[in-house]
Structure 1
Amino acid sequence: MVIISPILERDVNHGEVIWNTAVVIGNHGNVIGKHRKNHIPRVGDFNESTYYMEGNTGHPVFETAFGKIAINICYGRHHPLNWLAFGLNGAEIVFNPSATVGELSEPMWPIEARNAAIANSYFVASINRVGTETFPNAFTSGDGKPAHADFGHFYGSSHVSAPDSSCTPSLSRKRDGLLITDMDLNLCRQVKDRWGFRMTARYDMYAETLAHYVKPDFEPQIISDPLLHKKSL
C-alpha cells in the first residue's frame, strides 16, 4: 500500500512558515517525498493566504511500486495548467485531496477532474471530506454575508475518473466511505496513442503567450472590427 497523507507542515528552518503539504509514504513504510500546495484560495471563508504559503515544490511525480502518482492539492484543481504540468512530468494517477463545501464548488466537482483526466491522459482520484464543522464563535469573511459558525456542508462525493472519460460511481455525499477500484495504467498510453493530444499540442506557442503575459507591458492579441468604433456621420 502507498499512502498519501495530507499534513500541516511547519518549516522551522525558514521562519516557521506553514505549508499545506501531502506526504507520500511507500509500500515499505518509507517516505518517498512530499508536495506543497501550489495555489492558495482567496475565496469567501476559504481565504487561506493568511496562514498558508504558495508551495515551492513545483509539480513532482512520485514513482511508486504501483505507478507514477502526483498530488494536486484541493484548490489546485481549478487551475488547468496545474493539471497539465503533472501530466508533462509523467503522472499516471493524480490524487486531488480536498475539503470543499457544497455552496462553493459542488456544481464543478464532477466536471473539473474528469476533464483533467481526459485532457492529460491519466487517472484522477477526487477525494473530498464529508460533514459540517461548527465553531464556538461566529465569524465573517468580509463578503457582506451575516456572521456564521460553520463553513457549510463538505459534500464528499469522492470518485475516480479515467482518461477515456469513464468514471466510477461517487461515494456518499453525507457519510464517510471507502472506494476501491482497478486502474489499468495501460489505458493512459492507449488514450495518448488514440487521440495524440501530446503530439498535436502547441507547447511552444503556449509558452510564448505565457512569457508575454507575465510581462508588465503585455497587450492581449485582440483584432477589432474596424467598423466597430467608426463614428456614424
Structure 2
Amino acid sequence: MTVFVAACIQLRSGKDISENTARAEELIRAAAADGATFVQTPEMSNVLVRSREELAARIDVLERDPFVAMARRICAELGIFLHVGSVAVLLDGGKAANRAVLIAPGGAIVETYDKIHMFDVDLPGGESWRESSTYRPGEKVPVVDLPFGKLGMAICYDVRFPALFRAQARLGAEILTAPAAFTRQTGQAHWHVLQRARAIENGAYVISAAQGGRHEDERETFGHSLIVDPWGGVVAELDNDTPGHVVAEIDLGKVARARARIPAIANEREFDCRMTEAVRGEPA
C-alpha cells in the first residue's frame, strides 16, 4: 500500500497578496525539506479581506494570480504536489470564486474546485458573514486519481455537509480535504469534532490546513491545522493559531483496514424519509 508524507501549511493571510505569497513559499519549502511530497495551504491563501470592494480591487483571474504562479513554480522546482486550499479569484459579473487549485510536480494545474456551500450567518456577539454576497458558489465536487491515492476536494464550511464527503468516498476517495479559515468562535466549538467525524464515517484520511490568528481585516481564525487518520485519530496538529507547518506519514493501507472493519459505505441502503402527522382522536 502507498505511504507518503503530507503537510499542512498554516497561514495568517492579510491584505497584501505579495506578502502572503512570500510567507507561504517559505513554509512550503520548509515542509518539503521535512519530506512532504503532498503539501496543502489553507482557504484564502492569497488574501483575506472582508470588504467586497477592496477584495475585488486586489484579486485577478486565476491565470494571473501571483499565489498560484508561485505554487506552480515551486511544484516544478521541488517535485511536489501542492493543494492550494483556496484563493479568491475574479469572475465575470462582479463576483469572485473561492477556488481550490491542485498542482502537479511539473507545475501543471490538475484540478480546481469552487466552494459550494456559502457561510451566511449571524453569530452571537454581533459577528456576521455573507459569503454569498461576494462569492459565486460552485456546482461540481471532484475526486482526483493521483499517483499516491484518490483525493477529494472541499473547502471550510463544506465540512458541515457530510453528503459531499460521502459522495467522494463512494467514488473511492481515500483522502478528504477541508482547508479552512474557520472563525475562532466556531472553531473552538466544532473544528476537531467535524474533521474527525468526516474521517470516521468515511474511513478516510482528512487533511485540513487552516488560517490562524487575528488578521488585518480584524477577523480571528482558529488555526489548529489537522491531519486525521481513517479511525478518527489526530496524527498531526499545529496546536495553536501561529503560522507554521506540520507533517505526517499517510499510510493508505489504513483506509482499506478501516473500511473493512466498519463497512459503512458498502452497507449503505436506499430509503425513504417522510413526515408523518399525528392524528389526535378521542380516547376509546
Give the TM-score of the pair, scaled to structure 2: 0.65
- Of 175-184 and 60-69, deviating more is 60-69
Q: Write 1 or 2 for the structure with the bigger share of helix.
A: 2
- CA RMSD for the aligned pairs? 2.1
2:257 & 2:277 partners in 1: Cα distance?
40
1:11 Cα shift?
3.1
Is the partner of 1:53 in helix, strand or coil? coil
Match of 1:121 in 2: 203
Match of 1:213 in 2: none
Aligned AA (1:34): T
1:222 Cα shift?
2.7
Match of 2:224 in 1: 157
1:192 & 1:71 partners in 2: Cα distance?
20
Higher relative contact order (CA 8 A, sep 6+): 2
Matches within 5 A, 1:1-233: 1-5=80-84, 6-12=86-92, 15=93, 17-44=95-122, 45-56=128-139, 58-135=140-217, 150-151=218-219, 153-202=220-269, 204-205=270-271, 208-209=272-273, 220-222=274-276, 224=278, 229-230=280-281
1:10 Cα shift?
2.3
**What is the CA deviation profile of residues 154-203 of structure 1, one whole-angstrom value per residue up to 9, with x for unaligned ones?**
1211111111222124213231121110111111112112221122111x
Is the partner of 2:245 in helix, strand or coil? coil
Count matched residues: 199
Match of 1:215 in 2: none
1:122 Cα shift?
0.9
Report percent identity of matched pairs.
Answer: 23
- 1:18/1:134 Cα in 2 relative to 1: closer, same or farther (>3 Å)? closer
Aligned AA (1:197): A
Contact 1:3–1:26 (8 Å) recurs in 2 = yes
Is the partner of 2:167 in helix, strand or coil? helix
The runs of at least 4 consecutive aligned structure 1 residues that moved more than 4 Å come to 230-233
Runs of 5+ unmatched residues, structure 1: 136-149, 210-219
Runs of 5+ unmatched residues, structure 2: 1-79, 123-127
* Structure index of larger Rg: 1
Give the TM-score of the pair, scaled to structure 1: 0.78
1:107 Cα shift?
1.3
Is the partner of 1:178 in helix, strand or coil? strand
